[in-house]
Amino acid sequence: MKDDLIAIDNLSVRYELHGSTFSGRRTYVNALNGITLNVRKGETLAIVGESGSGKSTLAMTVLGLLRHWTGTISYNFSEKELTSAKERKLRRAELLEIWRRSSIVFQDPYSALDSKKLVKDIITEPYLGHRLGARSESQLLASELIMQVGLTEDHLGYYPDQLSGGQRQRIAVARSLINRPELVIFDEPTSSLDVSIQAQILNLILDLKEKLSLTYIFITHNLVVAKHVSDRMMVLYLGNVMEIGETDSVFNNPLHPYTKLLISSVPLPKADYEMKQRESREAEVSSITLPGGCVFHPRCPVATSYCGWKSDEVLQLIRREAYLLLGIEELDAEMHGDLSFTVTAGDEETARKLLDVVREKDRFKIADAQLSGNSISFTLFESWKPSLLSSGGRAVNCLLYDVEFMTAHGLKQDGS
Ligand SMILES: Nc1ncnc2c1ncn2[C@@H]1O[C@H](COP(=O)(O)OP(=O)(O)O)[C@@H](O)[C@H]1O
Ligand code: SF4
Ligand SMILES: [Mg+2]
């Protein structure tokens, strides 16, 4: 912990969805699922992931703004060490300590700044709110900070509406620094700005980090931005860490299949069932019913037989192939649990052709297939859940890098 400002161990957060109970059961969004992560003093750690992957939830939890979570978060601020754990809720005084030592800059400078307040009051508010000193001191600091963010003292007398998007984000940065934080979290700070202004704001943020010896957590869905600003990066997918490492090394040699796809900027394949769910119940559905095994398996181009396939997923793939390759519109099926199901075709000849197609296309997901008349009984492999394994400063959450698993199954890294 000595070199770390923050150490997060096995952090999970779920949100209860109100008004959406199925058969009387509560429904939850699993926003973060067992995150383990350290933030080193003085670094910029980028957190990269698609919308809904849990980036903002992670920021809010670290800042002590969410009440319900499990795991442990330890803070190693220069004057005080704090540990916040499920079993021990932080007292108000400890939360105040976290809010004094850290701050956040949000994505949208339009909604983040109170349009009825003058810029000087917006900047000084956290200072006065945390009772860090007298009003006169806060004014002096605001004058200093407004210049540090590249504006003039005149801007202190403006209202946010009188400023451009870039200027407002500079104000948000100044406000985030008035409590002299050790940690600043930027949550997509340039996503809502014009491309021409983004680089200026990023460079300002980087300059301030050097001048003020800060530690940054920088949240972005934009890999180019992550590459530009960060020392290390963490890739998040459906609330799970996929990969962590030095930014240069991750870009030069991405290991996790998801990171490889993100970096190659190839459009990500969508899982069929995921799309169906999204059509019917909005984007967060996939965090409600997380895929089993590896959460990435429905979209992974190199998934193995053991990566988490379940009967309903494989049946859907088989139905699609039956339709596309054999023109079969309806295929009766009977499920026998997560790993076994039977499909029934119109006649024996069709069932035989279907089995040939499945063996060719989906071979790796099928442990066994038995043809009996016009029915085929399929059995799938037991799934393995990958864990985040570290080696040489990199950590990857993929079975292909789990030597024990690969050896036990006689697999090579290309999935063969
Ligand atoms: N207050 C909330 N209530 C219910 N679900 C939420 C709430 N906030 C976020 N979520 C869900 O949690 C998941 C993670 O969200 P979020 O942390 O905002 O992701 P990101 O910042 O990466 O877009 C998403 O599925 C999102 O819809
Ligand atoms: S464990 Fe690795 S190979 Fe398997 S689905 Fe996940 S990312 Fe793909
Ligand atoms: Mg977000």
Q: Do 83 and 180 belong to one domain?
A: yes
Q: How far is the CA of 106 from the centre of ligand 3 (A)?
A: 9
pLDDT given at position 281: 35
Q: Do 234 and 320 belong to one domain?
A: no
SS3 83: strand
Q: Is 412 contained in some domain?
A: no
Q: How far is the CA of 189 from the centre of ligand 2 (A)?
A: 31
Shortest CA distance to 31 belongs to which of 5, 81, 63, 70? 70
In this structure, are residues 123 and 112 in contact, taking their beta carbons and an 8 Å threshold? no
pLDDT given at position 282: 34
pLDDT given at position 274: 43
CATH for 46: 3.40.50.300
Mutation choice for ligand 2 from 302, 383, 411, CB with most ligand atoms inside 8 A: 302
Q: Do 86 and 191 belong to one domain?
A: yes
The number of residues making up the chain comes to 416
pLDDT given at position 278: 38
Q: How far is the CA of 230 from the centre of ligand 3 (A)?
A: 18
- Provide the domain count of the chain: 2
SS3 65: coil
| pLDDT tens digits, one per residue of 8-24 | 999 999 998 876 555 66
Q: Do 125 and 218 belong to one domain?
A: yes
Ligand 1 contacts (CB < 6 A) are: 15, 17, 29, 31, 49, 51-57, 284, 287
67 phi and psi, to 5 degrees? -90, -35
Q: How far is the CA of 39 from the centre of ligand 3 (A)?
A: 19
pLDDT given at position 264: 87
pLDDT given at position 91: 79
> In which domain, by residue range, is 371 found?
311-380
Which residue lies with its CA nearest to atom 8 of ligand 2?
A: 303
pLDDT given at position 391: 85
Q: Is 296 in the pocket of ligand 2 (CB under 6 A)?
A: yes
Q: Is 300 contained in some domain?
A: no
In ligand 2, the atom with minimum distance to the C-alpha of 297 is 5
Amino acid identity of residue 338, one-letter, is D
- Within 10 angstroms of residue 212's Cβ, the number of other Cβ atoms is 13
pLDDT given at position 4: 93
Query: In the chain, which stretches have pLDDT less than 70?
Result: 19-24, 79-81, 84-89, 266-286, 413-416
Q: Is 307 in the pocket of ligand 2 (CB under 6 A)?
A: yes
Q: Is 386 in the pocket of ligand 2 (CB under 6 A)?
A: yes
Q: Is 293 contained in some domain?
A: no
CATH for 370: 3.30.1360
Q: Do 233 and 364 belong to one domain?
A: no
pLDDT given at position 78: 77
Q: Do 173 and 112 belong to one domain?
A: yes
In ligand 2, the atom with minimum distance to the C-alpha of 257 is 7
Q: Is 387 contained in some domain?
A: no
Q: Six-digit token pair at 132?
A: 């860090």
Which residue lies with its CA nearest to atom 7 of ligand 2?
A: 398
In ligand 1, the atom with minimum distance to the C-alpha of 236 is 22
Shortest CA distance to 148 belongs to which of 168, 130, 170, 179? 170
Q: Is 44 contained in some domain?
A: yes
Q: Do 204 and 327 belong to one domain?
A: no
In ligand 2, the atom with minimum distance to the C-alpha of 242 is 7
Q: How far is the CA of 69 from the centre of ligand 3 (A)?
A: 18
pLDDT given at position 269: 53
Q: Which ligand is nearest to the CA of 107?
A: 3
